[in-house]
A = this chain, B = another copy of it.
Amino acid sequence: MTNQTAADATLDPALEAEVREIAKRAKVASRALQNATSGIKNDLLNAIADALVGSAEEIVAANTLDMERGRERGLTPGLLDRLELTTERVASIASALREVAGLPDPVGEIVRGSTLENGLKLKQVRVPMGVVGMIYEARPNVTVDAAALALKSGNAVILRGGSAALESNRKLVQIIGDTLEAQGLPRELVQTVDEYGREGGVALMRARGLVDVLVPRGGAALIQTVVLESLVPVIETGTGNVHIYVDASADLDKALPIVMNAKTQRVGVCNAAETLLVHEDVAEEFIPRAYAALTEASVNLHADDRTRNLVPGGAGIASATETDWETEYLSLDLAVKVVSSIDEAIEHIRTYSSGHTEVILTESLAASEQFVDEIDAAAIMVNASSRFTDGGMFGLGAELGISTQKLHARGPMGLAELTTTKWIVNGHGQVRP
């Protein structure tokens, strides 16, 4: 745990004051969208999409400056790839915007309501948060995506993107601002604090009372920093140390494709599997089959001794250490362990789970019920791949991330998670007895 927090970080007071002014302008601007119809918001998003496509050359030119600087600074090919914008990528960002425009609008939903005995009419209505802050890394597509989700849910947004994408983000925000103005809306609905660098992000985290919620999007280190440093409430997304437990009664013909899908379909994502636990009753049959298929798919195993002893040449498999049980590899690596009982599997998961997704493969009703009851995670899969924990797969629409916290949102988050509610009470002169 760091001892350095946003509250005590040395921060230039003039800079902090400027960021607070930005946040105040965002709050005022947010009122323009607070009661806007879905039609107005959708037209806006479609207009931004048009503007981006129309300005694709300018955007790519700005991005070229970032790319050049990135190469000079020696960014890895992976980071450069995430940073790069091409005309095709701009078109795909625009098409994601149109998709958000097509999603149902959460604002205005009546969550519950009733008429009390005394005649008071109560309703709890979904309303925008107000001002949303987003802190993310050098992926310029997130700039547009974050703005789209915030605007569609009726909020103003303040962005803090990775410094490597400075020029790209500046251009994107300028185009969004111009479109807002052309639609008769304040350009302060979408602002950035990128020009203030890292301190801008810190000032944003300290703007409690002005920024209603902060959503960090990116790697574990970024999210952890924001969670620990922020005075503004945070929605934590992220880490998935996902386990698959193959029970004694698992149907091994179903189990193997699920393990392969969960581990190899896409490795760098939070809902990919990281540890495989196999009940000893089926280990002798399952482990060699899994080993063959996983090795074929270039997966490196990190296994306990019982596993290694079940595989011909298993001495060549890396011995799993404590670190392996704790690690979200996000790569073609998988920790493997043989357990003596479902209780041991549950205990292992309780110790190492990040509370994202946990999977049991079993044909036993009792085992599935025990696992579902006793495991505490955002999502629990019975006989299905962990890769299904996803807003789109769940039918919730565009995804803001997968929350692994318990407050406000847990699991895949959609537009509704960027809203809050208010109670509206209609009377005709009632007083409390």
Contacts and interface: CB of A to CB of B under 8 A. Distances in A.
Interface of A: 1-5, 7-8, 31, 34-35, 114, 116, 120, 122, 124, 127, 129-130, 206, 208, 212-213, 227-228, 231, 233, 235, 251, 254, 257-258, 260-262, 265, 368, 372-374, 376-385, 387-389, 393-395, 405-408, 410-411, 420-432
B388 A7 contact: no
A424 B262 CA distance: 17
A4 to B, nearest CB: 8
Given A265-B431, A377-B422, 16 more contacts: A1-B208, A3-B7, A4-B8, A122-B394, A213-B406, A235-B407, A257-B429, A258-B429, A380-B423, A380-B425, A383-B430, A384-B425, A387-B431, A406-B420, A407-B408, A411-B423
A426 B383 contact: yes
Contacts of A424: 372, 379-380, 382
Contacts of A206: 1
A374 B429 contact: no
Give the 5 A-B residue pairs with the shortest CB-CB distance, closest first: A384-B427, A254-B429, A261-B431, A406-B420, A387-B432
A432 B381 CA distance: 13
A384 B120 contact: yes
Contacts of A116: 393-395
A426 B382 CA distance: 5
9 contacts: A1-B7, A4-B8, A130-B376, A208-B227, A213-B407, A261-B432, A380-B425, A388-B432, A411-B422
Contacts of A385: 430-432
B34 A374 contact: yes
Given A3-B7, A206-B1, A423-B378, A388 B430 contact: yes
Contact of A432 (B35, B393, B411): B393
A233 B35 contact: no
A363 B213 CA distance: 36
A430 B384 contact: yes
A216 B212 CA distance: 20
Given A212-B406, A406-B213, A35 B395 contact: no
B422 A384 contact: no
A283 to B, nearest CB: 20
A370 B5 CA distance: 41
Nearest to A368: B426
Pick the most buried of A260, A411, A430, A432: most chain B CB atoms within 10 A of its CB.
Answer: A432
Nearest to A261: B431
A20 to B, nearest CB: 11
Contacts of A423: 378-380, 389, 394, 410-411
B376 A127 contact: yes
Contacts of A394: 116, 122, 423
Contact of A422 (B258, B376, B382): B376
Nearest to A130: B376
A388 B425 CA distance: 9
A389 B120 CA distance: 11
Contacts of A3: 7-8
A120 B34 CA distance: 36
A236 B416 CA distance: 21
B427 A382 contact: yes
Given A34-B373, A422-B378, A405 B127 contact: no
A379 B430 CA distance: 15
Nearest to A373: B35
Contacts of A408: 407-408
A411 B425 CA distance: 12
Contact of A406 (B130, B231, B258, B261): B130
Contacts of A407: 212-213, 233, 235, 407-408, 420
A129 to B, nearest CB: 5
